[in-house]
Chain A
């Protein structure tokens, strides 16, 4: 009688494929960096200048182009509309969780399965080495190619993903290892199977566990921090965001649909929801904004990875000093919010 009952294990991949085909149609030829399909309209001039710079033959020309490039970047980024910021955060070429993992960590041994019901490829977890120190790494991987995006379910995890993350958190606590989580997801996967397997309870369990965990937790939002699906791995002692990442309770297009029954008002909603890194820092929801290289992290992934590596390094030094305690974390989250107390 219930939909979920009639679903066989194969049905899940069917639904993902369906979603995948639709999305693939929207974004063809997106496997290599710099293809026309992946240059946002406001980036066009920047990309042109970058190409000219690469081909420039003498220093004078190079200097000239470099100056123009800087001016252009500054101008474009100063004038981004709220919706353009959303597009930037979701940029198909933005470095993904695995891109940072391979650049920042010396080794990453991926572990699989939630030990309850299965393996979720949208949520990645395992053991990583950072400057000779072992850490537990957990994060959502959206995928770089169309194939990978489909395989990763666009970084939208099922409950098995959150339970895999929980398994990693528990192990980290037992073995006294610090945790690094990398957040990049539209949200937890909205699917009947996910509901049947307890998406809500799985996320809630992670929130509760991370609140009390007796090891240090570092979280970074690298692209998109979508609602409870993001928060489910982001209750950290130190939570930071890349400058052009967004973190929100609800996607702007959905907010516009709910409040005004008009998804095209997404630009208005994107502004009203206050979803940028600087907004979140202002609300003390995050602890730091990580600056991105000119033109955004996707224009210079190596430099962006450097910035994140430095932040992790500082965090781990403070972890060694015993700066991060569960009590401090609890106090930080307990303070979040603005209310009136009318006596």
Chain B
């Protein structure tokens, strides 16, 4: 039996394409072959090395909330094309990219918002979707965030947002930059109302999202090894002609320098959040 397993193991690495899809996978964290089932049963976290595979917003919510408690809100808010960002010279079309991204990810925007219970505490929840245009922040995302924050203020509920973003949605130009100020105002409103805002950073949380609401949480948690920072490593390396070391801008780095309260493994997230929410939710 062990021998059989071994042979299968080898074939996985050597001839990936011949392996029935979805049974085995090679972990990018530890290079070990693990079964899909093993990973699926562990919230897409490697059981050997704690490597966190990227997950979409829907999966995130499924793993997190009390079963059946999620009610989605503001589903109608979607990206427009305010700049007319269609560039013939490079055959680039923003509306087309949005359409493709929607088809690929099954999402209509890079954040899902709603009400949910996490270990019996009712909360407003936001989960960003990296699969939708790199989780970039455009006008619709900013509006959804703010409406959800306003829900939290109105209902006097805590808000939890999982970030996953490459930064601003360049194709919306200056309007995407302004979402930084706008979402910061969403947080300001929660602060003023005395409702807690918990920001959870997942891989990656960068640029304008890190420099706005994601770093403004009353509490900031991060998944292990998530990349978190303002200026991208490539930009820094290009500007300064330096090689950045491994671990630069990792969740652990941000924790060490005081920007992240705790690093929480995905499999622990629900219980950690459950406790925090129970303790902090407005009475």
CB within 8 A of B231: which of A198, A199, A247, A342?
A199
Taken together as a complex, chains A and B put the C-alpha atoms of A279 and B83 apart, in Å, by: 9
Total count of chain B residues near the partner, CB < 8 A: 68
Taken together as a complex, chains A and B put the C-alpha atoms of A341 and B143 apart, in Å, by: 10
Taken together as a complex, chains A and B put the C-alpha atoms of A205 and B191 apart, in Å, by: 12
A339, B140: Cβ atoms closer than 8 Å: yes
Q: Is B255 an interface residue (CB 8 A)?
A: no
B211, A212: Cβ atoms closer than 8 Å: no
Q: A3-B245, A334-B185 are contacts. A249–B177 as well, Cβ < 8 Å?
A: yes
B74 to chain A: closest CB distance in Å?
Answer: 9
Taken together as a complex, chains A and B put the C-alpha atoms of A254 and B210 apart, in Å, by: 19
Q: Is B67 an interface residue (CB 8 A)?
A: no
Q: Please name the residue on chain B nearest to A230 by beta carbon.
A: B177
CB within 8 A of A198: which of B187, B191, B242, B257?
B257
User: Which of these binds chain B: A172-180, A187-195, A301-309?
Assistant: A187-195
Q: Please name the residue on chain B nearest to A201 by beta carbon.
A: B215
Q: Is A283 an interface residue (CB 8 A)?
A: yes
Mark interface residues in B116-133 (1 if CB within 8 Å of A CB, else 0).
000000000000000000
A340, B178: Cβ atoms closer than 8 Å: no
Q: Is A18 an interface residue (CB 8 A)?
A: yes
A3, B248: Cβ atoms closer than 8 Å: yes
Q: Is A160 an interface residue (CB 8 A)?
A: no
Taken together as a complex, chains A and B put the C-alpha atoms of A211 and B139 apart, in Å, by: 18
The B205-261 residues at the A interface (CB cut-off 8 A) are: 207-208, 210-216, 229-232, 235-236, 239-242, 244-245, 247-249, 253, 256-259
| B253 surroundings in chain A (CB, below 8 A) | 2, 4, 196
Taken together as a complex, chains A and B put the C-alpha atoms of A270 and B146 apart, in Å, by: 30
Q: Please name the residue on chain A nearest to B185 by beta carbon.
A: A211
Which among A194, A207, A235, A248 has the greatest number of chain B C-beta atoms within 10 A?
A207
Q: Is B23 an interface residue (CB 8 A)?
A: no
B235, A279: Cβ atoms closer than 8 Å: no
A119 to chain B: closest CB distance in Å?
Answer: 20
| A338 surroundings in chain B (CB, below 8 A) | 80, 82, 139, 172, 175
Q: A2-B245, A208-B216, A285-B175 are contacts. A231–B181 as well, Cβ < 8 Å?
A: yes
Taken together as a complex, chains A and B put the C-alpha atoms of A260 and B88 apart, in Å, by: 12
B230, A203: Cβ atoms closer than 8 Å: yes
| A340 surroundings in chain B (CB, below 8 A) | 76-80, 140
B176, A339: Cβ atoms closer than 8 Å: no
Main SS at interface, chain A: helix
A212, B180: Cβ atoms closer than 8 Å: no
B231, A190: Cβ atoms closer than 8 Å: yes
Q: Is A33 an interface residue (CB 8 A)?
A: no
CB within 8 A of A191: which of B90, B236, B241?
B236
B164 to chain A: closest CB distance in Å?
Answer: 15
Which among A190, A192, A204 has the greatest number of chain B C-beta atoms within 10 A?
A204
The A238-280 residues at the B interface (CB cut-off 8 A) are: 247-250, 254-255, 258-260, 265, 268, 272-275, 279-280
CB within 8 A of A188: which of B192, B216, B231?
B231
Q: Is B168 an interface residue (CB 8 A)?
A: yes
| B170 surroundings in chain A (CB, below 8 A) | 249-250, 255, 258-259, 273
Q: Is A333 an interface residue (CB 8 A)?
A: yes
CB within 8 A of A275: which of B89, B108, B174, B188?
B174
A15, B177: Cβ atoms closer than 8 Å: no
CB within 8 A of A2: which of B85, B236, B248?
B248
Mark interface residues in A287-329 (1 if CB within 8 Å of B CB, else 0).
0000000000000000000000000000000000000000000
Q: Please name the residue on chain B nearest to A336 by beta carbon.
A: B178
A15, B240: Cβ atoms closer than 8 Å: yes
Q: Is B182 an interface residue (CB 8 A)?
A: yes
| A227 surroundings in chain B (CB, below 8 A) | 168, 177, 208
B182, A336: Cβ atoms closer than 8 Å: yes
Q: Is A126 an interface residue (CB 8 A)?
A: no
Q: Is A113 an interface residue (CB 8 A)?
A: no
The B34-91 residues at the A interface (CB cut-off 8 A) are: 76-80, 82-83, 85, 87, 89-90
> A residues touching B (Cβ–Cβ < 8 Å)?
1-4, 15, 18-19, 188, 190-192, 194-201, 203-205, 207-208, 210-212, 227-228, 231-232, 235, 247-250, 254-255, 258-260, 265, 268, 272-275, 279-280, 283, 285, 330, 333-334, 336-343
> B residues touching A (Cβ–Cβ < 8 Å)?
76-80, 82-83, 85, 87, 89-90, 92, 108, 138-140, 142-143, 146, 168, 170, 172-182, 184-185, 187-189, 191-192, 207-208, 210-216, 229-232, 235-236, 239-242, 244-245, 247-249, 253, 256-259
Of the A-B pairs whose beta carbons lie under 8 Å apart in the complex, a sample of 22, sorted by A's number, is: A1-B245, A1-B247, A2-B248, A19-B240, A195-B229, A200-B211, A201-B211, A204-B216, A210-B181, A249-B176, A274-B173, A274-B174, A279-B173, A280-B174, A283-B173, A285-B178, A334-B146, A336-B142, A337-B182, A340-B78, A340-B79, A342-B78
Known: A195-B248, A249-B173, A343-B76; 8 extra A-B contacts, CB below 8 A, are A228-B207, A231-B181, A272-B83, A333-B178, A333-B181, A336-B139, A339-B138, A340-B79
